[in-house]
Structure 1
Amino acid sequence: MIGSGIFVSPSGLLERTGSVGMSLVIWISCGILSLLGALAYAELGTMNTSSGAEYAYFMDAFGPLPAFLFSWVSTLVLKPSQMAIICLSFAKYAVEAFVTECDPPDTVVKLVAVLAILVILFINCYSVNLATGVMNVFTAAKLIAILIVICGGAYKMFEGNTQNLENPFKGTTSSMGHIATAFYTGLWAYDGWNNLNYVTEEIKNPSKNLPRSIIIAIPLVTMCYALINISYLAVMSQSEMIESEAVAVTFGNRILGVMAWLMPLSVTISTFGSAHGTLFAAGRLCFAASREGHLMSILSYVHVRRLTPAPGLIFHSLIAIAMVLSGTIESLIDFFSFTAWIFYGGAMAALLVMRYTRPNFPRPYKVPIIIPILVLGISVYLILAPIIDQPQKEYLYALFFIVAGLLVYFPSVHYGAPKIMERFTVFCQLLFEVAPTQSIYD
């Protein structure tokens, strides 16, 4: 769960809520919502232990079309936008370390983000062992950065720097749309609360360990995020946080002195590792969805010597690059969160539907029925409130991709792929030196 979000979201969330107090309420509320959603997912994950997560639940409750739409939107929207946000965050912190007198130019930030995507693509295409090794090495950086922020903030609090926490609710926004988009910003930092459902097959005794891990982990992350925001406010005022392009770098410059370089270094390493992990997983999503016949078959092919899913990785990276060049961190977070909560709400609906269609199905863990109802209601609010209050083109794009999925499903999946795709597949096989996994292992 802990990735780039806590280093980029605080400024935008504070600006949208209008007050320190409401921003902390939103941070804690996002943690509670993530906890409730994850507990509902725990029931789904113990009912169906296949590692497809939402894809498997939609297939069970609604059939192949909604399952296809999830794999379609995840591949074309959710995973690429997630990677684009993380790489833009990486670039902003990397460039910020070399710019002290002014904000870093957007063009430079975008070019660095594109370069990061290309480097990560090369690593993932070159070797699976290299990709997993890089991921392991970079994991600890995020924890170092968080420890620096919390300890530094505690030191300042003990010195008596609490003036930024006085009158905490002064200036709170009254716009329900702004509150909903503030939730988008906060929930981006918590995204990943459902990731255990993608590896349910590999969890020992999932009926006990899945809900147990959720109940332990998410409250700890919530407490950690609240402490980080309080630490930021012990060093910076509300206006300074809002104006900062890289709030953790500003924090480091204020509190670490000659060691201020540690902060941007830790965050850039953390975000690079997070982006790397995102592409690593996304390439496998392309691989799995296309193997089921829900995407172009070429995306399920692997390199004949390196055994990496190169076509899926390249496809995903190209979409992420397009999003980097055309969007900003804030717009992409709105785009991602709006789309993601359509499907999170769909998973809650799937749980409720299966309570009636499969009442006697084994449920090793059963969540109280009020929890999925509550999360479904909140997801409907998060989807509709921003559209009603302040429509943005990002929401239209998300809905366009979903409708486009409907138009693609019937001619390409339900009735079979057109013959022209066979020639395209052969061309890509020769170009990328890839082949179906079965032929390689045979």
Structure 2
Amino acid sequence: MSNGKAEKVKLQREVGLLGGVSLIAGTMIGSGIFMSPQLVLLNIGSPGASLVIWASCGMLAMLASLCYAELGTTIRESGGEYIYLLRTAGQPIAFLWIFTSVAVIRPASLAGVSLSFAINAIAPFYQDCPPPDNVVKCVAAAGIILLTVVNCLNVRSSMNIIVFFMAAKVVGLAIIVIGGVWQLAGGNTVNLENSFEGTYWSVNSIGLAFYQCLWSYDGWNNLNYVTEEIKKPQVNLPRAVMIAIPLVTLLYLLVNVSYFTLLTPNEMITSSAVAVTWGNKMLGGWGWLMSLAAALSAFGSLNGTFFSGGRVCFVAAREGHLPDILAMAHVHRFTPSPALIFTSAMSLIVLIPGDFQTIVNFFSFTAWFFYALTLSGLLYLKIRRPELPRAYKVPIIIPIFVLMAAVFLVIAPIVDDPQIEYLYVTLFILSGIIIYIPFIHFKLCPGILDRVTVFTQIFLEVAPADKNL
């Protein structure tokens, strides 16, 4: 373990309101809106119901983020769900979250987005055939490694990338929206007539449609992972949420309407990347621009996810739930480079056997299980700890509603169509207790870990970091 007398460093507050809005929206607008619409439609069956799902997911993300804004201004520590569960539910539950997050949730998210980036980046070079799987994964791995270097070098550079790609992806979506308005003005509404015909009303279909759609909204909670790096978090955290998520929801709805003005439901379902198919029909020889826009969007989202994901490892290590080396920051650059490198390594491992749709379903089921536990913690604080200072508060009915929605998302696919995979997921989450009891509760630590920590600390030029409250 680290030397308690070592000089400590602090992460710098570099994230302002614009950076916060860009981190949330820039992470949310990633691969999903370019790839998920056909999967939502496939599961729900009709254009009208698909648009309702997109609007409902936007509302759910907005309400959930408002709940997280209260948590973030009450518990002003980085780490998101991990730190909230630690302060409300205790160490065992918090450890199960970080165990699952480090092993699966965060690497799966990064691997899924990097695969989307790679598929779209190389699509213009393989117009007549699917790109080779090995090529896709090599490009995805290159994207992860590049962002590891950028995030380790400088926080401000990482935030500049987030802001730049946020602007680029909004321009790309604006092209789709303008194209949709043009089509509507020309009377191309045939695909929106009788729009609820053929809707699948089963609980399983609705649940899976929400899973695929919520993948596009993933990132609504990213700012809570970096609370200690936000300037005036009690003000900028709620404001960033209230600006970013309605903007993204409106964009998503307009983009989906634009898709339906030009593509039939069958064309959308059979498309591998609906934005690229739309671009080929709308822009002709310039259709490759949509492939470029999708790649840029996924790359920006990958950077935002990477930026926040490393902070989760950092905070968990600082609390003693991961090796001490992951709680250290570079002595000159003030970036949590060991945690970022570790997150990158785990993502590359998950990338090797990764499949996009499987990753999405696994991620959604597991993530919303822990979101439900986190929202239960907010209810606990509101009922049992009303005296805590709160810069921002939501009516208690909102966390109750979001908690009910989270429970539905967890149990709906299981109740309507039980599959053995969900049992495996649950057993994997619970298996974390096997690690927690000897190594965390009883603090049994192999001596070699101390030597590895010292060597790595010297090699990476890092030191223990203080909280930035």
Q: Indicate whether the TM-score tops 0.5.
A: yes
Residues 283 and 180 of structure 1, relative CA distance in 2, 3 Å threshold? same
Give the letter aligned to residue 9 of structure 1: S
- Once the two structures are overlaid, the 10-residue window that deviates more, 378-387 or 99-108, is 99-108
**Matched ranges for 1:128-139 at <5 A:** 131-139=158-166
| Residue number among 202, 210, 222 corresponding to 1:195 in the alignment | 222
CA contact (8 A) 1:297 1:425 kept: no
Give the letter aligned to residue 138 of structure 1: F
The residue matched to 2:39 in structure 1 has which SS? helix
1:320-376, Cα deviation, whole Å (9 max, x unpaired) = 223222232111111111111111111211122223321333344332222211111
Cα distance in 1 between the residues matched to 2:146 and 2:226:
27
Q: Does 1:76 align with 2:76?
A: no
**What RMSD, in angstroms, separates the aligned Cα atoms of the two structures?**
2.7
Cα distance in 2 between the residues matched to 1:335 and 1:6:
19
Give the letter aligned to residue 265 of structure 2: Q
**Deviation of 1:306 (Å):** 6.6
| Residue number among 327, 336, 341 corresponding to 2:368 in the alignment | 341
| Residue number among 296, 300, 312 corresponding to 1:269 in the alignment | 296
Residues 53 and 120 of structure 1, relative CA distance in 2, 3 Å threshold? closer
The residue aligned with 1:2 is: 29
Cα distance in 2 between the residues matched to 1:312 and 1:199:
13
The residue aligned with 1:314 is: 341
Give the letter aligned to residue 204 of structure 1: K
The residue aligned with 2:7 is: none
| Residue number among 123, 135, 140 corresponding to 1:113 in the alignment | 140
The residue matched to 1:437 in structure 2 has which SS? strand
Q: Does 1:437 align with 2:457?
A: no
1:75-115, Cα deviation, whole Å (9 max, x unpaired) = 22222111111111111112222222333343432332223
**Matched ranges for 1:15-414 at <5 A:** 15-125=42-152, 131-200=158-227, 202-204=230-232, 206=234, 210-302=237-329, 309-392=336-419, 395-414=422-441
Give the letter aligned to residue 274 of structure 1: S
Cα distance in 2 between the residues matched to 1:158 and 1:245:
28
Give the letter aligned to residue 201 of structure 2: S
TM-score where L is the length of structure 1: 0.90
Give the letter aligned to residue 183 of structure 1: F
- Once the two structures are overlaid, the 10-residue window that deviates more, 158-167 or 319-328, is 319-328
Cα distance in 2 between the residues matched to 1:294 and 1:134:
31
Residues 336 and 69 of structure 1, relative CA distance in 2, 3 Å threshold? same
Cα distance in 2 between the residues matched to 1:49 and 1:308:
19
Give the letter aligned to residue 409 of structure 1: Y
Cα distance in 2 between the residues matched to 1:398 and 1:165:
38
Cα distance in 1 between the residues matched to 2:337 and 2:209:
37
Cα distance in 1 between the residues matched to 2:421 and 2:144:
22
Residues 213 and 122 of structure 1, relative CA distance in 2, 3 Å threshold? closer
Give the letter aligned to residue 433 of structure 1: F
Q: How many residues align?
A: 438
Cα distance in 2 between the residues matched to 1:304 and 1:205:
24
The residue matched to 1:326 in structure 2 has which SS? coil
5+ residue gaps, structure 1:
none
CA contact (8 A) 1:83 1:320 kept: yes
Taking only the aligned residue pairs, the percentage that are identical comes to 47
Cα distance in 2 between the residues matched to 1:271 and 1:131:
15
Cα distance in 2 between the residues matched to 1:44 and 1:427:
35
Give the letter aligned to residue 34 of structure 1: A
The residue aligned with 2:17 is: none
Q: Identify which of structures 1 and 2 has the higher relative contact order when contacts are C-alpha pairs closer than 8 Å and 6+ apart.
A: 2
Cα distance in 1 between the residues matched to 2:354 and 2:379:
36
1:211-253, Cα deviation, whole Å (9 max, x unpaired) = 4543443233222111100101111111111111111111111
Give the letter aligned to residue 430 of structure 2: V
Give the letter aligned to residue 248 of structure 2: V
The residue matched to 1:97 in structure 2 has which SS? helix
Residues 98 and 291 of structure 1, relative CA distance in 2, 3 Å threshold? same
- Once the two structures are overlaid, the 10-residue window that deviates more, 321-330 or 209-218, is 209-218
Cα distance in 2 between the residues matched to 1:95 and 1:275:
17
**Deviation of 1:417 (Å):** 4.0
1:412-435, Cα deviation, whole Å (9 max, x unpaired) = 1122142244256258628x8135
The residue matched to 1:100 in structure 2 has which SS? coil
Cα distance in 2 between the residues matched to 1:129 and 1:198:
17
Residues 205 and 407 of structure 1, relative CA distance in 2, 3 Å threshold? closer
TM-score where L is the length of structure 2: 0.85
The residue aligned with 2:15 is: none
**Deviation of 1:387 (Å):** 1.9
CA contact (8 A) 1:76 1:316 kept: no
